[in-house]
């Protein structure tokens, strides 16, 4: 045997396989109990029975693996295959046990989850929040179940999602800006898989295995707005304005349409704002400010050089949207922005505007006002 093995390990004969199995089972069982108590604590902290079950099962599995690994490494040390110091063996055991407990608890939560929210845009985009409790509170306070920080339109206790049987309901808790489901303001609403929830400027996608299997259909798209027919003056392929001959930027063999730079220069030297059509900020960094629209195309973006520059809103793209007057209506077009353009809560690519419509660009909401007296 190697000389650096402790004297206690070298005295007597090497333990037999049966004795090894008994020690393996005993230590694995003891550590499994310890892991179960560790996993149970997360469910107790949230008062969730489902989390308690997931924690206990995941903790037992992770603890059993860690305890068994400890006995295996100790036995390999005794027979001379490994030469780990006792402190290193304990370090590996504790690290493996903690990792396995967390891994299996997370695995069980993912497999056994029934309903959850997925954040769509903004900070923590894509993060999922499992709905375990009978009542889940959303708000700006750090004491709620799903805290929403950095959104000034969210109240401290904004909305609650409650469970009744296998159905989930969302209820507004008297917030100033209200709660919307699929673009409609609600007081209390039955939720179905694929519904879009808007709390302040923060949007979530509701997922529910029960209603998904009940209705047997794919989740509703959350980014599709109403389909509006393209104007005859706008190319449906490239989105550019057609010239007098009906040509645009993608016309083959025709005289090239003016470049975006030329159009931009024309806009800068075009007529001054008419003053009778404007966007008025109702929430966000530009609340209370009014922006008059030009008679020609009005460009909106984060750059201060835009017709409507919004440099204080970092969720606005550099070239975000454009508003222009067509023959019979004002139309807003999204210019390929990252976070999209919304009209009355629905994400749009192109949309005719009516007096009083709420237009959202980034985290700022505007009210479209038509025929305002100068």
Q: With beta carbons less than 8 A apart as the criterion, state whether 49 and 64 touch.
A: no
Phi then psi for 75, rounded to 5 degrees?
-65, -40
pLDDT value of residue 235: 55
Query: 355 or 235: whose pLDDT is higher?
Result: 355
pLDDT value of residue 272: 38
Query: 226 or 99: whose pLDDT is higher?
Result: 99
pLDDT value of residue 300: 94
Q: Which helix (H) or strand (E) is 132 found in, with range?
A: none
- Residue 372 pLDDT greater than 70, yes or no: no
- Helix (H/G/I), strand (E/B), else coil: 47: coil
pLDDT value of residue 285: 84
pLDDT value of residue 253: 44
pLDDT bracket for residue 198 (50, 70, 90): very high
Q: What distance in Å separates the CA atoms of residue 206 and residue 140, rounded to the nearest whole number?
A: 19
Query: 109 or 103: whose pLDDT is higher?
Result: 103
Q: With beta carbons less than 8 A apart as the criterion, state whether 151 and 159 touch.
A: no
Q: Which helix (H) or strand (E) is 142 found in, with range?
A: none
Least confident range from 11-20, 168-177, 228-237, 301-310: namely: 228-237
* pLDDT (average), residues 67-73: 84
SS3 content of the chain, % helix, strand, coil (to 5): 30, 25, 45
Provide the CATH number for the domain formed by 115-215 in this structure.
2.60.200.20
pLDDT value of residue 14: 52
- Residue 56 pLDDT greater than 80, yes or no: yes
Provide the CATH number for the domain formed by 260-370 in this structure.
2.60.200.20
Q: What distance in Å separates the CA atoms of residue 166 and residue 249, rounded to the nearest whole number?
A: 54
Query: 2 or 335: whose pLDDT is higher?
Result: 335
Domain with CATH 2.60.200.20 in the chain: 115-215, 260-370
pLDDT value of residue 334: 92
Opening angle at CA 237, ends 234 and 239, nearest 5:
40
344-349: which pairs have CB atoms within 8 A and are 24 or more residues apart?
A: 344/183, 345/180, 345/183, 345/184, 345/198, 346/183, 346/224, 346/225, 346/226, 347/222, 347/223, 347/224, 347/225, 348/225, 348/226, 348/228, 349/225
- Residue 193 pLDDT greater than 50, yes or no: yes
Q: What distance in Å separates the CA atoms of residue 65 and residue 245, rounded to the nearest whole number?
A: 75
- pTM for the predicted model, two decimal places: 0.44
- Residue 256 pLDDT greater than 80, yes or no: no
The overall average pLDDT reported for the chain is 78
How is residue 238 written in tokens? 């490239």
- Residue 77 pLDDT greater than 90, yes or no: no
pLDDT value of residue 244: 54
Count of H helices and E strands in the chain?
A: 6, 22
Q: What distance in Å separates the CA atoms of residue 295 and residue 292, rounded to the nearest whole number?
A: 10
């Amino acid at each position: 045997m190697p000389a650096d093995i402790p004297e206690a390990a070298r005295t007597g004969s090497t333990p037999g396989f049966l004795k090894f199995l008994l020690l393996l089972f005993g230590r694995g069982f003891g550590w499994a109990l310890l892991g179960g108590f560790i996993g149970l604590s997360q469910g107790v902290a949230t008062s969730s029975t489902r989390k308690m079950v997931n924690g206990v099962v995941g903790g037992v599995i992770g603890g059993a693996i860690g305890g068994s690994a400890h006995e295996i490494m100790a036995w390999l040390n005794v027979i001379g295959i490994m030469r780990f110091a006792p402190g290193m063996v304990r370090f590996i055991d504790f690290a493996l046990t903690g990792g396995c407990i967390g891994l299996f608890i997370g695995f069980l939560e993912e497999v056994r989850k029934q309903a959850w929210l997925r954040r769509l845009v903004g900070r923590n985009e894509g993060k999922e929040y499992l709905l375990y409790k009978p009542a889940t509170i959303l708000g700006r306070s750090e004491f709620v179940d799903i805290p929403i920080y950095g959104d000034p339109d969210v109240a401290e206790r904004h909305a609650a999602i409650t469970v009744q049987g296998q159905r989930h309901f969302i209820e507004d808790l008297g917030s100033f800006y209200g709660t919307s489901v699929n673009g409609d303001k609600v007081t209390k609403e039955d939720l179905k898989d694929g519904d879009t929830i808007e709390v302040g400027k923060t949007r979530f996608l509701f997922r529910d295995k029960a209603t998904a299997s009940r209705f047997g259909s794919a989740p509703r798209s959350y980014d599709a707005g109403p389909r509006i027919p393209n104007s005859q003056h706008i190319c449906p392929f490239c989105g550019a304005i057609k010239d007098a001959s009906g040509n645009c930027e993608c016309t083959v063999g025709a005289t090239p349409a003016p470049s975006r730079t030329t159009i931009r220069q024309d806009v800068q030297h075009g007529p001054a704002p008419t003053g009778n059509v404007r966007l008025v900020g109702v929430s966000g960094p530009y609340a209370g400010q009014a922006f008059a629209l030009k008679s020609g195309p009005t460009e909106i973006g984060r750059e201060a050089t835009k017709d409507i520059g919004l440099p204080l809103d970092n969720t606005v793209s550099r070239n975000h949207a454009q508003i222009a007057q067509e023959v019979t209506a004002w139309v807003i077009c999204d210019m390929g922005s990252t976070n999209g353009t919304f009209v009355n809560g629905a994400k749009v690519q192109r949309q005719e505007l009516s007096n009083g419509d709420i237009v959202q660009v980034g985290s700022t909401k505007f009210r479209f006002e038509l025929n305002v007296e100068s």
